[in-house]
């Protein structure tokens, strides 16, 4: 495995995800060169990073972390010059990505990893545009916002090398990320598929007037959502089985649970259903703006992250 340290990261695409990645990389003491051809992209990026910085300070900056280590250029070749890793956040269009990866293949040394934040496209498709060194291309899909949410899904394509997967996993882990490695490609990866399954039933319940938009959100965030912020579904099933654990859980609940599966909804998002959902959401959020909602989310999220960090440190002390 290459021992090359990742000290400089190139960010391609500085929308919501790219800007959030940039903030995280800077907080971890890395040099970041960002590129985007959108008008006012540099101004928007710097505004986002400055706004995110207090939260990152609260979580703890790496020595040497500085906003001054961020630079911007609209020129792709200049942006990736000297990069040890490229975090690509371009549009979810396979033609765009394949063309971009062809350019990167020509511009970058063979040992520079190209990681895509793509939430749905497969790396096997994307890396077809990278003929010389497809082995260094990998999915590194974050969860929004990446500077706060620890999850990164790592997915290799048909031609991705195991060395690349191990290197990128080591890199993300060094940033404090929680990585999951997919053993095979599936559309939407893992976390978005889980969200999609839940969203399908949420939309069905509202569309069928079983519950209002506000009440279905309450049921989620004040019920299972609180537990999911602590443990995953399978461990929670283990707890749900009492002292008999997961074995007793399946003995007790397999029948009822699989019976519910048979009556789960398959909603069609017609204009009428969308209108009902949209009206329900606006009634739920009231006068709160998108920025206000995001701030509320992030403040509570920071508290949860701090609590989990303290719990992890206590666990480490007990083990030591």
Quote the CA–CA distance of 58 and 309 in Å, as a whole number: 12
The closest alpha carbon to 245, from 232, 254, 236, belongs to 236
Q: Which two tokens stand for residue 182?
A: 């997919």
226 neighbors 303 (Cβ within 8 angstroms): no
Residues contacting 252, CB < 8 A, separation 6+: 241
Dist CA 136 CA 128 (whole Å): 12
Cα–Cα distance for residue pair 137/133, rounded to 1 Å: 8
Q: What is the pLDDT of residue 211?
A: 97
Backbone dihedral angles phi then psi of residue 156, each to the nearest 5 degrees: -85, 155
Kind and range of the H or E run holding 115: strand 113-116
Which pair of structure tokens corresponds to residue 185? 């490609």
Which CATH number applies to 191-286: 1.10.600.10, 3.40.50.720, 2.160.10.10, 1.10.1040.10?
1.10.1040.10
DSSP tag of 147: T
Beta strand pairing call for 137-142 and 113-116 = parallel
Q: What is the pLDDT of residue 320?
A: 73
- In sequence order, which residues have a C-beta less than 8 Å from that of residue 144 and are 6 or more positions away? 16, 17, 20
Complete edge-to-edge strand list for the sheet that includes strand 178-181: 70-72, 31-35, 8-12, 85-88, 113-116, 137-142, 151-156, 178-181
Q: CA–CA separation, 154 vs 162, rounded Å?
A: 11
- CATH 1.10.1040.10 maps onto the chain at 191-286
Which fold is adopted by the domain 8-181?
Answer: Rossmann fold (3.40.50)
Report d(CA 210, CA 278) in Å as an integer.
16
Query: In angstroms, how far is CA 265 from the centroid of its own chain?
Result: 27
Integer-rounded Cα radius of gyration of the chain:
22
- Write out the residue limits of the CATH 3.40.50.720 domain(s) in the chain: 8-181
Please state whether 242 falls in left (phi above 0), alpha (psi between -120 and 50) or beta. Answer: left
Per-residue pLDDT of the chain (320 residues; tens, 9 = 90+): 455 789 999 999 999 999 999 999 999 999 999 999 999 999 999 999 999 999 999 999 999 999 999 999 999 999 999 999 999 999 999 999 999 999 999 999 999 999 999 998 999 999 999 999 999 999 999 999 999 999 999 999 999 999 999 999 999 999 999 999 999 999 999 999 999 999 999 999 999 999 999 999 999 999 999 999 999 999 999 999 999 999 999 999 999 999 999 999 999 999 999 999 999 999 999 999 999 999 999 999 999 999 998 988 888 888 77
Report pLDDT for 3.
52
Query: What is the tens place of the pLDDT at every residue in 81-123?
Result: 999 999 999 999 999 999 999 999 999 999 999 999 999 899 9
CB atoms within 10 A of CB 198: 13
Number of H helices, E strands in the chain: 13, 8
The two tokens of residue 310 are 């303290």
Residue indicated by tokens 């916002």: 145
Would you state the structure tokens that stand for residue 298, as one six-digit string? Answer: 């992030």
Q: At what angle do helices 41-59 and 290-319 cross, to 10 degrees?
A: 40
**pLDDT tens digits, one per residue of 125-177:** 999 999 999 999 999 999 999 999 999 999 999 999 999 999 999 999 999 99
């Amino acid at each position: 495995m290459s021992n090359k340290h990742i000290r400089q990261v190139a960010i391609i695409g500085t929308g919501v995800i790219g800007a959030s990645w940039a903030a995280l990389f800077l907080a971890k003491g890395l040099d970041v060169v960002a590129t985007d051809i959108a008008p006012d992209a540099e101004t928007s990026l710097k505004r986002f990073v400055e706004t995110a910085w207090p939260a990152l300070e609260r979580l703890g900056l790496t020595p040497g972390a500085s906003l001054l280590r961020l630079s911007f250029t609209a020129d792709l070749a200049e942006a990736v010059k000297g990069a040890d890793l490229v975090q690509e956040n371009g549009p979810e269009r396979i033609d765009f990505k394949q063309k971009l990866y062809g350019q990167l293949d020509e511009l970058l040394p063979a040992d520079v990893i190209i990681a895509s934040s793509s939430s749905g496209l497969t790396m096997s498709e994307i890396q077809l545009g990278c003929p010389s060194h497809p082995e260094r291309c990998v999915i590194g899909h974050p969860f929004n916002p990446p500077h706060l949410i620890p999850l990164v899904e790592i997915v290799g394509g048909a031609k991705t090398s195991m060395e690349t997967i191990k290197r990128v996993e080591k890199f993300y882990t060094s940033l404090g990320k929680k990585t999951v490695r997919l053993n095979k490609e599936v559309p939407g990866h893992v976390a978005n598929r889980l969200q999609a399954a839940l969203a399908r039933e949420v939309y069905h319940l509202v569309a069928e007037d079983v519950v209002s938009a506000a009440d279905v959100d309450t049921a989620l965030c004040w019920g299972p959502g609180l537990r999911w912020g602590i443990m995953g579904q399978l461990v929670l099933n283990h707890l749900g089985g009492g002292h008999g654990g997961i074995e007793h859980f399946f003995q007790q609940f397999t029948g009822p649970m699989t019976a519910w599966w048979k009556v789960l909804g398959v909603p069609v998002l017609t204009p009428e259903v969308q209108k009902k959902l949209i009206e329900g959401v606006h009634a739920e959020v009231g006068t709160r703006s998108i920025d206000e909602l995001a701030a509320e989310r992030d403040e509570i999220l920071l508290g949860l992250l701090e609590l989990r960090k303290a719990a992890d440190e206590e666990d480490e002390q007990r083990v030591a």
